[in-house]
Structure 1
Amino acid sequence: MKKFFVFLLYFFVIGAFIAGASIFGLYYHLKDELPSVDTLKDVEFQTPMKVYSSDGKLISQFGEKRRIPLSFEQIPQPLIDTLLATEDARFYAHNGVDIIGIFRAAFTVLTSGTKKQGASTITMQVARGFFLNRDKTYIRKIKEIFIALHIEQTLSKEEILTLYINKVELGYRAFGFGAAAEVYYGKSLDQLDIAQFAMLTGLLKAPTAYNPLRNPERAIFRRNTVLWRLKETGHLDEIQYQDAINKPLTAKYHGAKIELDSPYIAEMVRQEMVDKYGLEDAYTKGYQVYTTVNSDAQRAAEYALRNNLHNYDERHGYRGPVDVLWLPSEIPWSQNEIQKRLAQTSDFGFLQHAVVASIDPQQQTADIILKDNQRAVIYWDGVKWARPYIDDDSQGPAPQTIEEVIAEGQLINVRKMENGQWQLSQLPDAAAALVALNPNDGAVVSLIGGYDFRQSEFNRVTQAKRQVGSNIKPFIYSAALEHGFTLASIINDAPINQWDRRQGTVWRPQNSPPVYDGPTRMRTALAKSKNVISVRLLRAVGIDNIVNHLTKFGFSPYDLPKNESLALGSASFTPMELVSAFSAFENGGFVVEPYIIERVETPEGEIIFKAEPKIACLDCLYNDDSDKLEDIKLAQQAISEQNAFLIAEAMKSTIWGGGNWNKGTGWNGTGWRARVLKRDDIGGKTGTTNEAKDTWFSGYATNIVVTSWVGFDDPSRALGATSPNPNLGKDQVFGKEFGAQTALPAWIDYLKVVLQNEPEQTKHIPSDIVTVRIDSESGKRTNKTDHTALFEYFVSGTEPRNYVEYDPMPEILNAEKAGEVNEVELEQIF
C-alpha cells in the first residue's frame, strides 16, 4: 500500500511536471502569435455617427453598427446579475480561466461524447471577441486561455465586464447592451425590467435562434431559462420569478430615435464628414455632429414647402387613383388582402395610401381603410377640389358628387388637414426647394431640397441650377446705384425694339404682364418688376460693368450670359447661391459663405472641429481695436452699406407698394401677398422665367434670408395655368403661375412660424444716407406735403437738387441711347 501511494505521488508530480512543461511549451510556441492585450486599455468601439440639430434633436445616424458605449457606472446592477448568473457565475473568483468549469465541461464530453456545456468565462469571451475568430478548434481555445490570463493581469474585473457588455453582438446590427435596449425596446438600458434584461441576455447564446422578432417562442423559452438561473443564484425569489416568466414578450424593432426627420440635411452632413474624415472614421468613430439647423424652423420649412406643393398640384386637377383593386360590381377584397396591398406601398411626405371601402351617396362621404387596419372618413369638402387634370394649362369640370371622383375599390392617396379631416390628395408632380440662412455668418437655419428625400434624393437647394428670372433684378439695380442712379431716378417704362442684324429679327423684351407705365421711379420699377426698365438700366451701366458687379456677390462669371437677357434673369443659379447673394442686402453688403456643421464632438464630448465662419460685421470696419479684431474673420464686402440699405428699402416696396389709395395713386408691388405677415422689416423679390418654368421668391426679415423655388425637374415643362374652380371660395388661387402666387406662399408660411416670437426691428440707417422729400412723378425735390410728395433715401451728394415747381419735366433716362451699342458690339452680344 505504501508503494502504491508513493507511485501515485510520483505519477501526479511527473504528470504535473509534464502538464506544466506542455503548457509552457505551448505558450512558448504560440507567444509570438498572441496579441498584446494592452490595446484593450484604449479600446475605440465602432460607434455610428450621429447628426443633431442646433438644439440637440437627433436628425440621423450613419454606421453599420449600432452601439451606445456605456461606462461601468452606467451599467444597471440587474444586468450584471443576469449576465453573471447565466454566463459566468464564478467571474469574481477566477483569474480568467475557470478550472472547475473546464473540468465540468470535460467530464460532460467524456460521459456524453458531445459538447453540451461550454467552459468559456466572460474574460475568455472578451479575448475571443477582440482577438480571435469563432472557429471551434483546440488551438484557438488554447490561445483564448492564454489571452484571457493576460487580460486578467492587465485589466480590472469591472473593466473586463464593461468591455464585454459593450462588445457583444445581439442581432439587428445592435452591438452591446446599450444599443440592444433601444433596438428591441426603444428604451435606454436603465429603463428595462428584469424580464427584458433576461431576454437580451438570452440572445448571447444565439442572436438569431433566440431572437424575439424572428422566433418569439424560442426567445421566451430562453428568457425563462435565464430567469430560472437568477432564481437559482438567489437574485429572484419565487414570487419575482413567477411574475417575470408570466410577462408577455414586448420586444419589437425600433429604429434610431429620430427626433427631426430631415434627410436632406443629414445627407449634406454625411458627405461633408466623409470628405473631412474619410468613410471609415466618419462611420465608426462615434462623432456627434451638431448642425446649424434649428428644429422648429426646419419643421416649418418642411410644412411650408409640402403644403405649397399640394396647393399648386391640386388646383391643376386630379390625375386619378393610384390603382383599382376591385370594381364596385365585383366582390370586395378581404381585410388581409387590403392590408397586404397597402404594405407594398410607400408613403411620402404628408401622404398616406388608403383603399376606398364604400361610398355613401346620401351623405357624400367615403369610408377608407389605411395601414394597420385604421379606418377613416373622407367628406365632400375633402374631395370637391378634384377637377380632372387635362394638362398643365387645362382642368376638367368641377365635380358635383363624390362618386364622380372616387369609387369603391380604388387605392388612393390621402392627407390629414390641419382641422383633422382627411382629404383626397396625390403625389405632386412639381418640385420645390426652400433654404434659409443667417445673413450674419451664413449658418443654414433651414433647408429642404424637395418634397421628400425618400421619393427623390436630388437636393434642389444645392444641385439644381435654374434660371432665376426677376430674382436677378436687385443685383442689376445695385449696379445702377454704383453708376450714378438713385431710387428716385426716372426711367421710361416703354416697349423696346432692337434689331438683331445677325438673326434678322427684332428683340422685344416685354413686361409681364405687358403693361407699360411710362416714366417710372427706379424704386417703383423694382417693386413692380418692370422688365424693360431692367434692360434699360443694363444698357446704361454696360454689360461688362453689370457682370463684374454680379461676380462680387459670389456668382460665377461662367454662369452670367454676356447679353441683355441677363437683365431678365437668363442666368442660372442654385437656390443656395441665390440666398447667399441676397444676404448682402440684409447684412450691410457682405457675402457670407453658407455652412451647415457648427461643431463635431467625440463620444466623450471633446470638440474636434468648430466652424469659424467669416462674419458680416459693419462695426468691425470702423473699429480700430486691432486686438479685439484678431479673432474675427471678416466676410468680404461686395457692396457698400449704403448700397445694400437702398436696395433692401426698395425691396420693401415689393411687398408694401406705394402711393395713396384714397387719392387714386396707390399701387402694389409683386409681393403684396406677404403683407399678411404684418411686418415692416421684410422685403424681397419675385422671380418668374419665360413660360413660368421656374418661379422664385427671395427675401429677408431681420437676421434671416429665405429663398423659395418651385418648378418641374424637367426644365422644359412650364408650370401652366388654372381656371377658377366653382366648388371653391373667393380666396382660391387661379390664373397663370408665377413667382408671387407659386413660390411666395411657401416663403410666407415659413416666416409666419419663424418670426412669430421675434420682435419687429427697425433697420439701422447708415451714415451718409439722407432723406429728401420728392415729387412722386418726377423724382425731383418738392415743398409740397400732400399725396404727390414722399420721402426717399439717398446717398449724401446724390439727392436731387432741382425742385419740381421750377422744372416740372422729369429727367428721363433715354435708354435707347444710353448704353447704345455699335454694330461690332451687337455682333459680340448676339
Structure 2
Amino acid sequence: MLKWLVRLFIVMMLGAVLGVASLIGIYFYIKPQLPDVSALRDVKLATPMKVYSRDGELIAQFGEIRRIPLQLSEIPQPMIDAVLATEDARFYEHPGIDPIGILRAATVWAVSGRPQQGASTITQQVARNFFLTNEKTIVRKVKEVFLAWRIEQNLTKDEILALYLNKIPLGYRSFGVGAAAQVYFGKEVSELTLDEIAIIAGLPKAPSMLNPIRSPERAFARRNVVLGRMLDTGKITQAQYDEASKMPIKARYHGAETTLHAPYLAEMVRQKMVDQFGEDAYTMGLHVYTTVTANRQRAAKEALLEGIIAYDTRHGYRGPSAQLWKEGEPQWDYNQIVAHLNKEPAYSPLIPAVVTNLGDKSASLVLKNGKQAELNWDGIKWARAFITDSRQGNAPKSARDVLKVGAQIWVREQGEALILAQIPDVNAALVAMNPADGAIEGLVGGFSFELSKFNRVDQARRQIGSNIKPFLYATALEQGYTLASIINDAPINQWDPAKGPMWQPKNSPAVYDGPTPLRIGLAKSKNVMSVRLMRAIGLDTYIDGLTRFGFPREHIQRHESLALGAAEFTPLEVVRGFAMLANGGYQVTPYFITEVKDSFDKTLFSANPAAACRGCGTLAAADMNAPDAYLNVPGDWRAQCAIDPVVPNNLAPQTISAQSAFLITDTLTTAIWGGRGWMGTGWRAARDLKRRDISGKTGTTNESRDAWFSGYTPNLVATAWIGFDNHQRALGRAAYNPNMGRDQTAGGEFGGNAAQPIWIDFMKVALDKVPEQPMPVPEGIIKLPIDGETGLLSHSGATTTEYFKEGTEPTRYATPSSDGNRVYGDGYYGEGPVSTDDLF
C-alpha cells in the first residue's frame, strides 16, 4: 500500500511539474502577443463630444458611445457593493484569477450539465474589454488569464474596479454605470435608488437580454437576483431587500439631457471639430464651449419661430396633412389613433393631432402623447384658405369650414390653449453677434433642423436688397461726401443703349422728394438716390468699399443694380458688415467656439479673436495688426478698448474710419426714429423697443423674394432674413382678415413687417435690463447748424444740425434770394462732389 502511495505521489509531482512547465511554456509562447497592460494607467476611454453654451448649458452630444467617466469616489458604495456581489464577490481577495470561483463554476456545470455561473473575475473582464475580443476560444481564455495576472501587478484593486465600472457595456450604447444611470433613468449615478442600482448592476451578464426597456420582466427577475446576493453578502438588510424587490420597473430611454436648443450651431461645431481632430472627435471626450449665452439663444429661437408662424398664418391654411377616415367610413378608436400618432414625427413647437369630433366653434382632438384636448374657436378662426402666396380665401365662420373629423392636423400650444398650425413653407434665419470681437451670441438657421439641416445663416446666399445701402453711403463718406450732401431724389429716365436693356430704378413707394440730403435719403431708403450716389463715386470704388466690409468680391457682380442690393450674401456676412458700423470700422471675424477641453479638463484650444478697439486712436489698417502697435496709442489702451482684455498684437484691422462708421450709425438711428413729419423705415423698432441707442436698416428685394432687417446697439448686432428656399417664390401679400381684429399685418411683405418683427422680438429679450448706451462720438467729429434744404451753413434759424468729419464741413452759407428761396450756389449742394448731371 505504501508502495502505491509513493508511486501516486511521484506521478502527482510529475504532473504538477509538467503542468507548471506547460503553463510556463504557454506563457512564453503567448507573451509576444500580449499587449502592454501599463497603458491602462493612461487609458483614454472613448467618450462622446459635448457642446455647451458659454454659460454651461448642454447644447448637443455627438458620438455613438455614451459614457460619463467617473472616479471611484464618485460612484456610490451601494453600486460598488451590488456589482461586486453579482460579478466578483472575492475581488479584493484573489490575484486576478479566482481558483475558488473556477472550482465552484465547474462543480455547478458538472452537477447540472450546463454552465450556470461565470468564472471570470472583474480583472479578467477588464482584460477582455480593453485588449481582447469576445470570441469563445481556449487561446483567448488563456490570454485573458495571463493579462489579468499582469494587470493585477501593475494596477491597484481600486484602479481596476474604476476601469471596469467605466468601461463595461450596459446596453443602448451606454458604457459604464454613469452613462447607464442617465440612459435608463435620466439621473446622475449618485441619485439612483437601490432598486435602480440593482437593475444596472445586473446588466453586465447580458445587456441586451436583461435590458429594463426592452425586457422589463427579465430585468425584474435579474434585479431581484442582484438584491438577493447583496442580502447574502450583508450589504443590505432584509427590510431593504423586501422594499426594493417589490418596486416596479420604471426605466425608459433618456437621450442626452440637452438644456439649450441650438442644433444649427451644434452642427457648425461638429463640422469644425471633425475638421480639426478627424473621427476621433466623437470619442476623445471633447467639451466644446461656444460663444452663445442661453438667454439670447432661446430668445433667437423663439423670435424666429414666432416670425415664421406669423407670416405663415396670415397667408392662409393649406389644409390637414392627412385624412385618416372619411365621412361614412368607420371611425378609428382611441388606441388606433394613438398608435398612428406615435409613429408620426413632431417638429417643435408643432404637435400632430387627429380631429375626433367637430362643433360649430370647436374641435375635439387626440394629441400625439395620447392626451385628449379641445381646440377652441380662437385657435381656428385665423385659418382662411390659402389660395396663392398673394391670395387667401374668405375668413371662416365655423370650425366645419376649416376641419373634418378624421383629419390629421398640427397644433401648437399657446399658454393653456391650442392653436391650429401647419408646417410652414417659408423659412428664416437670425444671427446675433458681439461687434467688439465677432462672437456669435445667438444663431438659428431655420424653422426646424429635423425638417432641414440647411443652415440659412451661413449657407443661404440671398439678395440683400436695401440692407446694402449703409455700405454704399459709408463708402461715399470715405470719398469726401457728407450727410448734408444733396442728391436729387427724382426718377431716372436716362438710358445708355450701350449698356443693354433699359433699367429704370424706382423708389418704393414711388414718392420723389427732389434735392435731398444723404441722411434723409438713407433713412428713407431712397432707391434713385442710391443709384445716383453710386454713379457719382464710381461702381469700382463702391465694390472696393463693399470688400472693406468683408463681403467676398467673388459674389459681387459689376452691375449698377448693386446699388439696390442685387448681390447675394449670407446673413452671417451681412451681420459682420453691420458689426463694423457698430464697432468703429474694425473688420472682426465671426467665431462661435471659445474653448475646447479634453476629457481630462485640459484646454486644447482657447479663442483669441482679433478685436475692435474703440478709442485706440487713429491707426492705419496695416498697423493695427503689427506687434507693438498699441505702444503708439496714448493713455491706457486697455481701458479704451471695447473689450477687456485684448491681446495687443491681435487687434482687428480698421478698414473704414471710426468717423464714417459713427455717421452711418447716427443716420441709421434716424432710419428707426424718423424726422419731423415722417417715419423711418424701421419705425416699428422705435415703437416697440423705445430706445434711442438702436440703429437699423430694412431690406426688400424685387417682388419681395427676400426680406431683411439688420440693426444694432454699440454692443450687439443682429440680422434677420425671411424668404422661401425656392428663390423664385415671392413672399406675396396678405389680405386683411376680419376674424383677427385690428392688430394684424396686411398688405405686401417687406423687410419692415416680415423680418423686422423677428429682430425686435429677439432684441426685447437680449436688451432687457441693458441700459441705453448711445454710440460714443469719436474724435474728429463736429456738429454744426445747417440749412436743411441746401446742406449749407445757416446764418440763423437753422432748420437742423448735422455731424461732419473735421475738414468736410460746409464753408458757405445758404443765402436767401429776394423771393425768399435759398440760393444753392455753383450747381452742387452741401460741398459734396456731386455733378449737375447727377442732380437733375
Shorter-chain TM-score: which interval? over 0.9
In the TM superposition, residue 485 of structure 1 has moved relative to its aligned partner by 1.4
Superposition map of 1:452-471 within 5 A = 452-471=448-467
- Please name the residue that 1:154 is paired with: 154
Alignment partners' CA distance in 1, 2:215 and 2:248:
14
TM-score by length of 2: 0.94
Shift of 1:817: 5.3
- The answer to which of 134-143 and 677-686 deviates more is 134-143
Is the 1:492–1:814 contact (alpha carbons within 8 Å) kept by the matching residues of 2? no
Q: AA paired with 1:294? A: T
Q: Show the counterpart of 1:143.
A: 143
The equivalences for 1:120-131 within 5 A come to 120-131=120-131
Structure-1 residue corresponding to 2:188? 188
What's 1:394 paired with? 391
One-letter amino acid of the structure 1 residue matched with residue 724 of structure 2: F
Q: Distance in 1 between matches of 2:500 and 2:153?
A: 93
Which consecutive unaligned segments of at least 5 residues does structure 1 have? 660-665, 821-830
Q: Is the CA contact (8 Å cut-off) linking 1:63 and 1:283 kept in structure 2? A: yes
Q: CA–CA distance in 2 between the matches of 1:209 and 1:375?
A: 36
The answer as to 2:683 corresponding to 1:672 is yes
Alpha-carbon spacing, 1:151–1:568, altered in 2? closer, same or farther (3 Å): same
**Alignment pair present for 1:535 and 2:534:** no
Structure 1 position 401, deviation (Å): 1.6
Match of 1:772 among 772, 776, 784: 784
Match of 1:561 among 557, 561, 577: 557
- 2:101 is equivalent to residue 92 of structure 1: no
Shift of 1:116: 2.5
Q: Does 1:285 align with 2:281?
A: no
In structure 2, the residue matched to 1:795 is: 805
CA drift of 1:805 comes to 4.0
Aligned residues: 808
Q: Structure 1's 42 and 389: CA in aligned 2 closer, same or farther, altered over 3 A?
A: same
CA distance in 1, matches of 2:329, 2:146: 73
Q: Are the structure 2 counterparts of residues 97 and 394 from structure 1 closer, same or farther at C-alpha, using a change threshold of 3 Å?
A: same
Paired residue secondary structure (1:636)? coil
Deviations along 1:726-754, one digit per CA (max 9) or x if unpaired, are 11222211111111111110000000000
Quote the Cα distance in structure 1 between the aligned partners of 2:109 and 2:227: 26
CA contact (8 A) 2:487 2:838 kept: no
Check if 1:754 corresponds to 2:753: no
Summarize deviations over 1:659-707 as a string: whole Å, max 9, x none: 1xxxxxx111111011110100001111111001111011111301100
Cα deviation for residue 710 of structure 1 reads 0.5
User: Partners of 1:817 and 1:782 in 2: how far apart?
Assistant: 23
Once the two structures are superposed, the pairs formed by residues 587-736 of structure 1 within 5 Å of their partners are: 587-621=583-617, 623-624=630-631, 631-659=648-676, 666-675=677-686, 676-736=688-748
Matched residues in 1 for 2:735 and 2:328: separation?
Answer: 35
Deviation at 1:638, TM superposition (A): 1.5
CA distance in 2 between counterparts of 1:817 and 1:344 reads: 70
CA shift at 1:372, angstroms?
2.2
**What is the alpha-carbon distance in structure 2 between the residues aligned to residue 694 and residue 7 of structure 1?**
101
1:75 alignment counterpart: 75
> For the Cα contact (< 8 Å) 2:48–2:63, is it kept in 1?
yes
> Structure 1 counterpart of 2:13, which letter?
V
Deviation of the 1:815 alpha carbon: 6.6
- Deviation string 1:410-453 (CA, Å, 9 cap, x unpaired) is 11111112x43211111111110000010000000000010010
Q: Secondary structure at the match of 1:591?
A: coil
Structure 1 position 809 matched with structure 2 position 823 = yes
TM-score by length of 1: 0.95
Taking the TM superposition and a 5 Å limit, the aligned residue runs for 1:275-674 are 275-279=275-279, 281-361=280-360, 364-417=361-414, 419-502=415-498, 505-621=501-617, 623-624=630-631, 631-659=648-676, 666-674=677-685
Where does 1:185-224 land on structure 2 (aligned, <5 Å)? 185-224=185-224
Q: Distance in 2 between matches of 1:537 and 1:631?
A: 38
* Partners of 2:458 and 2:307 in 1: CA distance: 20
Separation of aligned partners in 2, 1:706 and 1:31 = 64
- Asked if 1 retains the 8 angstrom alpha-carbon contact of 2:435 and 2:714, the reply is no
CA contact 1:306–1:349 (8 Å) conserved in 2: no
1:168 match: 168
Task: Return the letter of the residue paired with 2:288.
Answer: V
The whole-number CA distance in structure 2 between the counterparts of 1:411 and 1:171 is 36
Q: Deviations over 1:232-266 (max 9, x none)?
A: 11112221111111011111110000101211011
Letter in 2 for 1:797: G
Equivalent residue of 1:624, what SS? Answer: helix
CA drift at 1:54:
0.4
Amino acid aligned to 1:609: F
Secondary structure, aligned partner of 1:415 = strand
**CA shift at 1:328, angstroms?**
4.4
Letter in 2 for 1:767: E
1:169-226: CA deviation from partner (whole Å, max 9, x where unpaired): 0000001111000000000111112211111111111011111111111110111111
Q: Deviations over 1:481-517 (max 9, x none)?
A: 1222111111110000132414764321101111111
Deviations 1:599-656 (A, max 9, x none): 0011221111001100001333465368978644011111100000000000001110
Distance in 1 between the 2:767 and 2:192 partners?
42
3-state DSSP class of the match of 2:358? Answer: strand
Distance across 1 between alignment mates of 2:615 and 2:493: 47
Which segment drifts farther, 549-558 or 327-336? Answer: 327-336
**Residue pair 1:781, 1:800 contacting (<8 A) in 2 also:** yes
Pick which of 126-135 and 268-277 moved more: 126-135
For residue 109 of structure 1, report the CA deviation from its aligned partner. Answer: 3.7
Paired with 1:54 and 1:368, the residues of 2 have a C-alpha distance of: 41
Partner of 2:623: none
In structure 2, the residue matched to 1:258 is 258
2:187 and 2:471 map into 1 onto residues whose CA distance is 53
Deviations 1:566-598 (A, max 9, x none): 101111100000100111100000111000010
Distance of 2:7 and 2:502 partners within structure 1? 122
- Stretches of structure 2 that go unaligned for 5 or more consecutive residues are 619-629, 639-645
Matched, 1:60 2:60: yes
Q: Conserved in 2, the CA contact under 8 Å of 1:539 and 1:815?
A: no
1:308 Cα deviation from its structure 2 partner: 0.6
Secondary structure at the counterpart of residue 507 of structure 1: coil
Residue identity in the other structure for 1:585:
L
> CA contact under 8 A between 2:88 and 2:122: conserved in structure 1?
yes
- Between the aligned partners of 1:381 and 1:97, the Cα distance in structure 2 is 72
Aligned identity (percent) is 51
| CA-based RMSD | 1.7
Cα distance in 2 for partners of 1:521, 1:620 equals 31
Instruction: In structure 2, give the amino acid aligned to 1:748.
Output: I
CA distance in 2, matches of 1:797, 1:755: 37
CA distance in 2, matches of 1:737, 1:651: 21
Supply the AA of the counterpart residue of 2:482. Answer: T
1:740 aligns with 2:747: no
- Asked if structure 2 preserves the Cα contact closer than 8 Å seen for 1:389 and 1:396, the reply is yes
- 1:539 is paired with a residue whose SS is helix
